[in-house]
A and B are shown apart, each in its own frame.
Chain A
Amino acid sequence: MKAAAFDYRSAESVAQAVALLAEGDTRVLAGGQSLGPSMNLRLARPQRLVDVKRVASLRAVAADDAVCSLGAGWTHAEIEDGVVPDFSCGLMARIAQGIAYRAVRNRGTLGGSLAHADPAADWVNTVVALAGTLVVEGPGGQRRIAAADFVRGAFTTALQGNEMLVAVELPRLGQKSRWGYHKLCRKTGEFAKAIGIAVLDPGRGLARVLAGAVEAAPVPLPLAAKQLWEAGPAAAIAVLDDEVAARLADLAPAERMLRVVAVRRAIEALAEG
């Protein structure tokens, strides 16, 4: 199908985009790789799109010893290819490579995916797993939201209608960091049935384990993370069944098992890597 009629504006700056958002029924268009299909299917019929592709500040990268900040406008392919400097010991590039297909990755953006907040999308789960912080800007300036508070549920974020996501702050993983990422898909590039993430950074004291693609906000597994930190991968895997059962009690047993398997494989990948 074709999209319903809409007005199109291109913004040169975040301030200009935010001003247009404040006028109502306007959606931010970044890569449009999720919004475009929804509009073609007439599931979304915004009156107006404000295109932020040409906003230079959305492609800033900065880092200090502890934290890196990535502009929201980087494409998945640029992260995959290392065009964006890597502060994650390869985690971000590896995840980017598994997002949809190359033609989609060439246009879809980090920030667009996060603002869309599909529970099965890779970055939504990644930023919560890494306990990142999202920087959003509205008429009153910028505010920073912990990733776990940003993702409220399926397709629902803490973004107000007149705000847009401008950057993502993630911990800068040390050289001794290890990580594992496992995505269960029926077909390459399809939406994930389950996502498992495990990250261990001895230098920063960071240990995180997360079950994702749960059709709701991602679910951190702090008990498994504690085991991973204190007793190693095998001990973390040993508590997975119980912790996933406790935290995802409303999922059918087979659905829970998918998450357990994805997380277990992520921890195994961490142990091997």
Chain B
Amino acid sequence: MQVSLTVNGQRRDLLVQPRMHLADALREVLNLTGTHLGCEQGVCGACTVLVDGVPQRSCITYAVDCADAVVTTIEGFDADPTMTALREAFSAHHALQCGFCTPGMLVTARDVVLRLGEVTEARLREELAGNICRCTGYVGIVDAVAAVAKGRQPEARREVRLAEPRQAAPLVEAMPREAPRLARPGGAAMLEERVALTATPDAAWAALADLRRVAECLPGAQLDSVDGEHVTGRVGVALGPIKASFAGAGTVALEAATRSGKLSGRGRDGASSAEGEVGWQVLPGDAGGSVLSVQLSWRLTGPLAQFGRAALVRDLVRRLAQEFAANLDAMVAGQAPPPARQLGLFALLWSVLRAKVLGR
């Protein structure tokens, strides 16, 4: 796509793919290599540039999304008096060593000095928290920025834009709902959910013995083949914007005497791998109905496991189990198959993201 930007005072027309982020456009297309790329996840701050006068992360901003924007990179501050003062202070206070973080650090520091003026050291450290330096220990950087900010007043705030008032609709006061039924305490990677079914224990068990129908009730699951106790299939994952498909194989064991079954399997999607087991048992319930007990356990293997967020996974598994039971109940009652839905079970993906990524 073609996109027009003003970069360091010059209008530039670029031809870029939508997937190219602004930092790559600056570095690779315009050869402005002063903008550095550290994490490419919006965390380290090395790529910070001014977009329309305010600091932004150029690694999580697409170039096409900056049409008509005014961009200032570290190369564009030669004549800027605040930046001149900061450069001298960084030198005097030994606020850089390898220099990798410095372009982003300076862009952020300039914004802090102009926007806030002189502030306490604690506030200054908070404001600089989004720019990571691995050499200096920050002492020199904080001293340098504080020296430039000393005695300065914050600049005037941007003009407040007031929209035409309109009559807003009345508020719906939502009373807090009852807490969801919580799983009983257990190991971090194990959860049991019990759901009452209207079907009799025999009817529920008969339905559960048909694996294909069971799979239909598991959100996002699909059975590709059943050969004796061996099954292959896939579990689709949709968690917010994230979609993945774990293809895998498993084994099934059914025990009619106790009306219980167990499916264990493992799957991979790219570098991520997950291993899990779902067990189910039909128990007699009230008024001729039954109670379905679903136990889910899972284990994450590979390098991703260290980022595990047990509580997040538990919430997803709990919802998965509830939806499974509701779908199963509907199926036993002879209702239409559930609409295809996906619910994320393998939240390990998010664990990686959350361990490293910022921005909400």
Contacts and interface: CB of A to CB of B under 8 A. Distances in A.
15 contacts: A8-B18, A33-B359, A36-B62, A37-B41, A38-B240, A40-B60, A43-B241, A60-B166, A64-B165, A83-B157, A102-B127, A104-B57, A189-B129, A222-B176, A248-B182
Interface in A200-257: 214-216, 219-222, 225, 246-252, 255
B358 interface: yes
A266 interface: no
B165 A43 contact: no
Contact of B353 (A43, A66, A85, A249): A43
Nearest to A109: B360
Interface stretch (B194-202, B308-316, B325-333): B308-316
A148 B176 contact: yes
Nearest to B67: A10
Counting chain B CB atoms within 10 Å of each CB, the highest count among A62, A154, A169 belongs to A154
Given A41-B41, A246-B179, A77 B353 contact: no
Nearest to A119: B312
Contact of A216 (B242, B311, B360): B311
Interface in A1-40: 1-8, 10, 27, 29, 31-40
B243 A62 contact: no
Chain A contact patch, size range: 35 or more
Counting chain B CB atoms within 10 Å of each CB, the highest count among A8, A45, A60, A146 belongs to A8
Given A41-B352, A62-B163, A77-B54, A148 B177 contact: yes
A174 interface: no
A223 to B, nearest CB: 10
B243 A45 contact: yes
B240 A155 contact: yes
A38 B360 contact: no
A220 B17 CA distance: 45
A88 interface: no
B84 to A, nearest CB: 22
Given A2-B19, A45-B243, A153 B360 contact: no
A190 to B, nearest CB: 7
Contacts of B174: 131, 133, 146-149
B240 A64 contact: no
Interface of A: 1-8, 10, 27, 29, 31-46, 49, 51, 53, 59-64, 66-69, 77, 81-83, 85, 99-104, 106-108, 112-113, 116-123, 131-133, 144, 146-149, 152-156, 169-171, 187-191, 214-216, 219-222, 225, 246-252, 255
B interface, over-half SS: loop
A4 B19 contact: yes
Contacts of B185: 249-250
A2 B61 contact: no
Given A133-B171, A153-B319, A99 B18 contact: no
B347 interface: yes
B312 A154 contact: yes
Contact of B350 (A3, A112, A155): A155
Nearest to B316: A154
A60 B40 contact: no
A82 B1 contact: no
Given A131-B174, A219-B179, 13 more contacts: A2-B20, A5-B17, A8-B62, A8-B65, A66-B168, A66-B171, A67-B168, A67-B169, A77-B54, A118-B354, A155-B240, A156-B343, A215-B315
